[in-house]
Copies of this chain bind each other. A is one copy, B any other.
């Protein structure tokens, strides 16, 4: 029995998210189908992050166990020859049997890309959040630190019934011409957490929320206080560390 860790990138535009679901195209479903063809056995993969529909990954990590003896270094070429080109296996590594891509992960980081321009771009429509007006980036920078550390992030989650305490290690924003790029690293994330944080920070940069409002939202531990959510297509799972 071998335990194989795959590092994969994907354009999430045409997928109904990572997690397998009946009758729709998902990342997990596509990879499991490809593995079935190569290994001739039904494989269940585990993903480090269950990205939503439209969300992308630069370095998603999955693992699976197999008894078959295909050389590890040949796995990426074999899978990539079968998979649609919107998913790429970048690397395969043999890992200890107790490695689990989800539960062994020490941290995940995401980036979120915003494009500021009076008209949208047909080339970027699936890859950025298009805004017409530039928010006040200095005010956003001043607010970032309220998210750092251990918090109950209920106010920044989309669904019920999870452990809601997470530790954010780092959050930053970078300005490059027409692009704003958020970077956020935590031990783990709640569903919708990055997109709700980004939405709240853009609302702050647009003077629709004050820093006090933002602190109040975080402290209140109540869903629904952030109005709307940043769209999925600006979000990228950037790195998973073990």
Task: Closest B residue to A91 by CB, please name it.
Answer: B119
Total copies of this chain within the assembly? 2
Q: In angstroms, how far is the closest chain B Cβ from the Cβ of A173?
A: 21
Contact partners of A90 in chain B: CB under 8 A: 119
Q: Would you call A21 an interface residue if the criterion is a C-beta within 8 Å of the partner chain's C-beta atoms?
A: no
Digitize A116-151: 1 where CB-to-B-CB distance is under 8 Å, 0 elsewhere: 000111110101000000000000000000000000
Tell me the complex Cα distance, A182–B127, Å: 24
Q: In angstroms, how far is the closest chain B Cβ from the Cβ of A181?
A: 15
Q: Would you call A87 an interface residue if the criterion is a C-beta within 8 Å of the partner chain's C-beta atoms?
A: yes
Q: Would you call A9 an interface residue if the criterion is a C-beta within 8 Å of the partner chain's C-beta atoms?
A: yes
Contact partners of A87 in chain B: CB under 8 A: 122
Contact partners of A56 in chain B: CB under 8 A: 122-123
Digitize A83-108: 1 where CB-to-B-CB distance is under 8 Å, 0 elsewhere: 00111101000000000000000000
Tell me the complex Cα distance, A175–B103, Å: 43
Q: Would you call A112 an interface residue if the criterion is a C-beta within 8 Å of the partner chain's C-beta atoms?
A: no
Q: Is the interface of A mostly helix, strand, loop or mixed?
A: loop
Tell me the complex Cα distance, A10–B121, Å: 8
Q: In angstroms, how far is the closest chain B Cβ from the Cβ of A85?
A: 5
Within 8 A of B (CB), among A1-47: 9-11
Tell me the complex Cα distance, A10–B124, Å: 11
Q: In angstroms, how far is the closest chain B Cβ from the Cβ of A48?
A: 17
Contact partners of A86 in chain B: CB under 8 A: 122, 125
Contact partners of A88 in chain B: CB under 8 A: 119-122
Q: Can you identify 23 A-B contacts, CB atoms within 8 angstroms? A: A9-B121, A9-B122, A9-B123, A10-B122, A11-B122, A11-B123, A11-B125, A56-B122, A56-B123, A76-B119, A80-B119, A85-B120, A85-B122, A85-B125, A86-B122, A86-B125, A87-B122, A88-B119, A88-B120, A88-B121, A88-B122, A90-B119, A123-B127
A-B pairs with lowest CB-CB distance, top 6: A11-B122, A85-B125, A86-B122, A88-B122, A10-B122, A11-B123
Question: With contacts A10-B122, A85-B122, A88-B122 known, what are 8 further pairs, Cβ within 8 A?
Answer: A9-B122, A76-B119, A80-B119, A87-B122, A88-B119, A88-B120, A90-B119, A123-B127
